Chain A
């Protein structure tokens, strides 16, 4: 390949989402994070002789929810298989997973890559999603020359979500991963905590000359537990692979690890040392049968999905596609918006959207807070917006009130905005007589501006409005001021 070859990147992602069940997938042990080692490991989890697995129905419900959310087929019959390999944190010597017949088949996710004018839409197809159990943890640090085994995590339910090789850049891969991350939290099946390993991705990366039909040889980057690392790892890997090929070396199929310290990927094992997992149906578990009634029951308990909600926001509130999409980017954000609209009324929905995506988003970003930790509640924001709507305050004053609320003035009271307006005397002056007197004063004191305005300078008019507003510290109703000025100037 010459150095002028144009390369196409091909990426498929496999994501392990830890399901938010109370207990493990095949035992009654808790799956809470952070317990002392091995206190959440029962006889089944440590694989004592004679113990047997029993499937947790809640984990299946999570899989059904996911299948419904991505428009997939939910298999009426799927099969648990044993994936056999030896490792000290794998107590049975096999992992129970689904192999030939997974519970979720097909479906996909619509993603937006980039933002603003350059944003593009894309649909990422899913191959499958299947249920499986997690392994325990090997702890190498705390035991000099020895390895500690913590089986608390062993048997934690996972949904492994596999895409088709549909993504063509690290940006697309990250956009997909973020969309999936938001979706699994949206439907309440995964807490999305990447630091605790509740949501982790493997990326299959290959490159091929642009226009070539066949895929290149892929390497799998394991255990990417942040979006930033995913981007870095894929970018490094792509560069590495292109360089290898351009240097005349063939890519060998391999599993690689990303080292965040060096920003590089390095090979963990090649295809030659790949395990033969000797998959076969687990004779301890019956095939999983999911009847249409069960699916219907799960469906009836599902929240409105982000895409449907986005369409509704556009249709009912006249929001732009971009605004509506931003509001449904996460369930807490959407919940915040919906709660504020419920309080302030649909007529104010657009103003609410603007405030959430403008002032509130800016503040949250700056302080690195998620919307659910916002110091201003949805009801408080609605209270503020109501006062803009009923002309109690102007938009500019509202920003002051917002600032005060953000800083905790008005406390957690639902009517915080009213309290601040009252306390700081920010109520808009709407008394026509008072404004008229004010306008007269301004006109008398600004003869020069009047002349300029009459000479055709529009700016001069704005200066007059500004003078009037300044005289009232912004409290005069700007519309009334404008109207009166125009009237007096015979405009």
Chain B
């Protein structure tokens, strides 16, 4: 059974179809691993063995009764786990916060609905930075997630539970969300492949909002091929999300086997400056050399306003968050202070107790930048910068098919290394944020190891709706290299 944990989704699908393994057996393999390894890693924060096995049994039944349908649903019976930001019916959905530590969702997020509809089996809910605010998973109410490559180091964030779980082979794949790099950065730090789609490709319905104009759900898995299969199931127009795009359905696997010859890779000058650690640079340079070997050419491009992306992001994202998180007031659900004398006290105590420090910091920033007299100077100006950043990408993509660079300036850092200095922490996302501001799709894939044998991620940024192209570019690299197949020693 040990090979199952490292199998690709296609292999698992084939094994299920050939009845070499049942969905119930498969789920049990992973549940057993979770039982063994999760106490160390803290990736899962909600588990329900009975519920999972019942779902697996239903998937087996579906495959048995309707063998034809499984061809349309290759994912039927394959387990996965959801970042705890996705509302999951009957499961506690906490968003990593004390505020929602008692909230059991009465409905499924669109992403959950689609993946469950495809027959995928929910293993549990995954730890995350509180309300997705963080780059190290240290802000979770449920304690930090440990990086399976080195448990003294962070897994990245905010989808740190998703990244650690996949890296440790506690689940074949996971869902994540990315507001400023929250899929790509933990994917890089844990040595996985993760994809943030073009804004509007995956429905946000049921995904607890952090910054509505930036949030996007996406797959986190071991390979581009796995991500393509998952994206096929996750993407699509949803009338319940007004920002969801009404476009014809796409097969994101369609270009996977396209050779790379003639591919033009843009390398933004701004991504290859002083900010990047030498070990990261070495791994990225080696990956670019591999791409040239595969027939691609590289060209320098400019993203002159990318230096403004972090400040613009830390105006827009907190502004939206300060409003999005207003619904957590202790009135209808979630944490309510046990004692209060009046309404104002009920609000202030419930929120003071329910939210952690980083969430409060961002609510304060957001409230400030939207305040009367400051709106123009901060929020409006940030929106203007946002348009400039998008325009930079439009220019850059005139010269290239995809853009590449590092995902994160460093490999996974030690717990506490950046948690005392929020600005240092915010700079962890310096290479990923501009993609969210522009609404572009982005990926991270493993491209080697840096200091202390920690994984390094290569970032690919695609043009709008360039997911299939990006996936193909990543898949061709993964056919030529084996970084994505490496597994942390400690979890073998």
Contacts and interface: CB of A to CB of B under 8 A. Distances in A.
Interface of A: 43, 46-55, 82, 84, 86, 88, 91-94, 149, 276, 278-280, 283-286
A82 B375 CA distance: 13
B212 A280 contact: no
B53 to A, nearest CB: 26
Interface string B51-91: 00000000000000000000000000000000000110000
A88 B212 CA distance: 23
Contact of A47 (B95, B105, B211, B327): B327
Contact of A49 (B87, B371, B379): B87
A97 to B, nearest CB: 13
Contact of B205 (A50, A283, A286): A50
B107 A43 contact: yes
A276 B371 contact: yes
Contacts of B206: 50-51
Contacts of B213: 283
Contacts of B379: 280
B340 interface: no
Given A48-B87, A50-B87, A50-B109, A92 B326 contact: yes
Nearest to A43: B107
B140 interface: no
5 contacts: A48-B105, A51-B206, A86-B329, A91-B332, A278-B322
A91 to B, nearest CB: 6
A286 B326 contact: no
B236 to A, nearest CB: 15
A50 B243 contact: no
A50 B207 contact: yes
Given A94-B323, A280-B323, A283-B213, A84 B240 contact: no
B230 to A, nearest CB: 20
CB-based closest 10 A-B pairs? A93-B326, A283-B212, A278-B370, A283-B213, A50-B206, A47-B327, A49-B208, A50-B87, A276-B372, A50-B208
B82 to A, nearest CB: 12
A114 B240 CA distance: 50
Task: Say whether chain A's binding surface is mostly helix, strand, loop, or mixed.
Answer: loop
A94 B242 CA distance: 18
B400 to A, nearest CB: 30
Contacts of B239: 54
B205 A51 contact: yes
A93 B109 CA distance: 21
Given A54-B239, A88-B343, A278-B367, A48 B323 contact: no
A12 B323 CA distance: 31
Interface of B: 86-87, 93, 95, 100, 103, 105-107, 109, 204-209, 211-213, 239-243, 319-320, 322-323, 325-329, 331-333, 343, 347, 367, 370-372, 375, 379
B87 A46 contact: no
Contact of B375 (A46, A51, A94, A280): A280
Given A94-B323, A276-B371, A283-B320, A48 B106 contact: yes
Contact of A84 (B105, B328, B370): B370
B329 A93 contact: yes
A278 B369 CA distance: 9
A284 B326 contact: no
Contacts of B208: 49-50
Given A49-B208, A88-B343, 17 more contacts: A48-B106, A50-B204, A50-B205, A50-B207, A52-B204, A52-B241, A84-B322, A84-B326, A84-B370, A86-B329, A88-B331, A91-B327, A94-B323, A278-B375, A279-B375, A280-B370, A286-B242
Nearest to A92: B327
A279 B319 CA distance: 10
Nearest to B95: A49
A103 to B, nearest CB: 16
B323 A284 contact: no
A51 B241 CA distance: 9
Contacts of B371: 276, 278
A50 B209 CA distance: 6
Contacts of B107: 43, 48
A49 B212 contact: no
Contacts of B322: 84, 278
B87 A54 contact: no
Contacts of A84: 322-323, 326, 370
Contact of A86 (B87, B204, B347): B347
B105 to A, nearest CB: 7
Contacts of B375: 278-280
B205 A46 contact: no
Contacts of A285: 242-243
A52 B213 CA distance: 12
Contacts of A49: 87, 93, 95, 100, 103, 105, 208, 327-328
A43 B206 CA distance: 10
A55 B332 CA distance: 24
Contacts of A46: 332
A77 B392 CA distance: 26
B347 to A, nearest CB: 6
A278 B343 contact: no
Nearest to B347: A86
A47 B332 contact: yes
A186 B332 CA distance: 39
A52 B323 contact: no
A91 B334 CA distance: 13
A55 B87 contact: no
B208 to A, nearest CB: 4
Nearest to B214: A283
A55 B241 CA distance: 10
A212 to B, nearest CB: 29
A278 B106 CA distance: 31
Query: Which of B95, B106, B205 has its CB near the most chain A CB atoms (within 10 A)?
Result: B205
A47 B333 CA distance: 10
B106 A43 contact: yes
Contacts of A88: 329, 331, 343
A86 B242 contact: no
A139 B207 CA distance: 32
A284 B331 contact: no
Nearest to A93: B326
Nearest to B325: A93
Contacts of A43: 106-107
A43 B371 CA distance: 29
Nearest to A278: B370
Contacts of A51: 205-206
Query: Which of A49, A53, A285 has its CB near the most chain B CB atoms (within 10 A)?
Result: A49
B242 A93 contact: no
A47 B327 CA distance: 7
A53 B209 CA distance: 12
Nearest to A80: B242
A272 B319 CA distance: 24
Contact of A93 (B86, B100, B319, B327): B327
B240 A54 contact: yes
B326 A94 contact: yes
Query: Which of B209, B242, B325, B370 has its CB near the most chain A CB atoms (within 10 A)?
Result: B242
Contacts of B240: 52, 54
A54 B327 contact: no
B115 to A, nearest CB: 15
Query: Which of B207, B320, B323 has its CB near the most chain A CB atoms (within 10 A)?
Result: B323
Query: Which of A92, A93, A94, A283 has its CB near the most chain B CB atoms (within 10 A)?
Result: A283
A55 to B, nearest CB: 7
A276 B322 CA distance: 14
A88 B332 CA distance: 9
Nearest to A87: B343
B387 to A, nearest CB: 14
A43 B205 CA distance: 11
B212 A284 contact: yes
A52 B327 contact: no
A280 B368 CA distance: 13
Query: Which of B322, B329, B343 has its CB near the most chain A CB atoms (within 10 A)?
Result: B329
A109 B86 CA distance: 50
